[in-house]
Amino acid sequence: MKKMSLLFSSICLTLVFASVSFAAGTIKIGALFAVTGPASFLGEPEKKTLELLVKEANDKGGINGMKLEAVIYDTGGDATKAVQLATKLIKDDKVSLIIGPSTTGESMAVIPVVEKEKIPMISCSAGIKITDPAKHWVFKTPANDHVAAEKILNYMASKKQKSIALLTVTDGFGASGREQIKALAKQKGFTIVADEVYGPKDTDMTAQLTKIRGIKPDAIICWGTNPGPAVVTKNVKQLGIKTPLYMSHGVASKKYIELAGADSAEGVMLPAGKLAIYEALSKSDAQYKLLKGYDQSYKKAYGTEASTFGGYAYDAFLLATGAIKKSGSTPEQIRNGIEKTSKLVSISGVFTMSPKDHNGLDLSAFEMVKVVKGDWVMIK
């Protein structure tokens, strides 16, 4: 009888603990990344970063005692597919939030879905129109493209470079960057002397660059994501153009140098997040410890260095889990918590959100860098 009583007590305790574990629940984080296709240099490190962070969090007991589960889909960079998969995440997988998509075009396409279904989305793409004007359920982690454009123009002003030749890709990211550069250039007294474009799949831009060479601008700004900017960089070298070449933050990874070739990319300048040059930062920099830790963890897990683009997913994870810790795990609680984020030190910068600002970064998010001998060097 005593044995039966002990057995019954043991079973009861097991059921209690099981029910406690079940009651704690699971938070499903949906993610849309361009893991394959032309934008895979964005989506692959984003996917790997999110998987790494979810594992690390669960190994430490989850968030508020709840396990995290990442449901990740590959969009291939296709906006139509992104919309279909966003719907699947919400309707079938019952996620509490969505991280991604990787590109501006995809993000703009998914916005109506998350706004209608009232699910928070933290985009990993840079186009300013994603969060300006602010949408109730939409946030993003890369600094707005007008911030990157202003960083370039401020540096050009310091070098007394006043005439600009633009070469931008005809997708959402390129169109947004072109618009921001032209508006800021007018405000700051620069002259746009050439305004050329290229298609996302174009493999040669010598025609546009030959025109630009004849105009002799003080600088060329190319705005796009790989592989186009790498092609432009090679073409500039092939045509013997010595005009200073600036790129957008959309190529701020070693993949760009690899695609363009170290010799062709030598001297190219662009605004980049601090991750690209964290070893050159002061140890007292607010981001230094986090940047170093992320890079080391990523290298240990995947055998390669962390990229700025993976950092966008890292930021989204910190914003989401910070909101869950403070506000709760329902979609509305997560949304409200993200909007209340203040002085969150992360990979892309220090985030402070508000009802009118769902990006939360400023000029301090970027450093101007230059390619020197196949690597990024901070411009002092």
Q: Residue 380 — pLDDT band, cuts 50, 70, 90?
A: confident
Burial class (CB in 10 A: 0-12, 13-18, 19+), 240: exposed
Nearest to 88 by CA among 63, 119, 58, 66: 119
d(CA 7, CA 54): 37
* pLDDT tens string 8-30: 444 444 433 433 342 369 999 99
* Tokens linked to 146: 């007008």
Identify the pLDDT of residue 253.
85
Nearest to 248 by CA among 157, 319, 147, 349: 147
* Tokens linked to 279: 């070893």
* DSSP reduced 3-state for 169: strand
Identify the pLDDT of residue 136.
98
* pLDDT tens string 64-74: 999 999 999 99
| Residue with token string 């009118």 | 356
- Whether 110 has a pLDDT exceeding 70, the answer reads yes
Domains present along the chain, CATH in parentheses: 27-144+289-363 (3.40.50.2300), 146-279+366-378 (3.40.50.2300)
Q: How far is CA 379 from the centre of its chain?
A: 22
Under 8 Å between Cβ of 133 and 201: no
* pLDDT tens string 295-349: 999 999 999 999 999 999 999 999 999 999 999 999 999 999 999 999 999 999 9
Task: Find the DSSP H helices in the chain.
Answer: 2-24, 40-59, 79-91, 104-117, 145-158, 172-188, 206-215, 228-238, 254-260, 262-265, 288-302, 308-327, 331-339
- Whether 126 has a pLDDT exceeding 90, the answer reads no
* pLDDT tens string 226-267: 899 999 999 999 999 999 999 999 898 888 999 999 999 999
Under 8 Å between Cβ of 137 and 120: yes
Identify the pLDDT of residue 301.
97
Residue 25: half-sphere exposure toward Cβ, Cα within 13 Å:
9
pTM of the prediction? Answer: 0.83
| Residue with token string 């300048």 | 269
Under 8 Å between Cβ of 43 and 78: no
Greatest pairwise CA separation for the chain in angstroms: 99
Identify the pLDDT of residue 24.
64
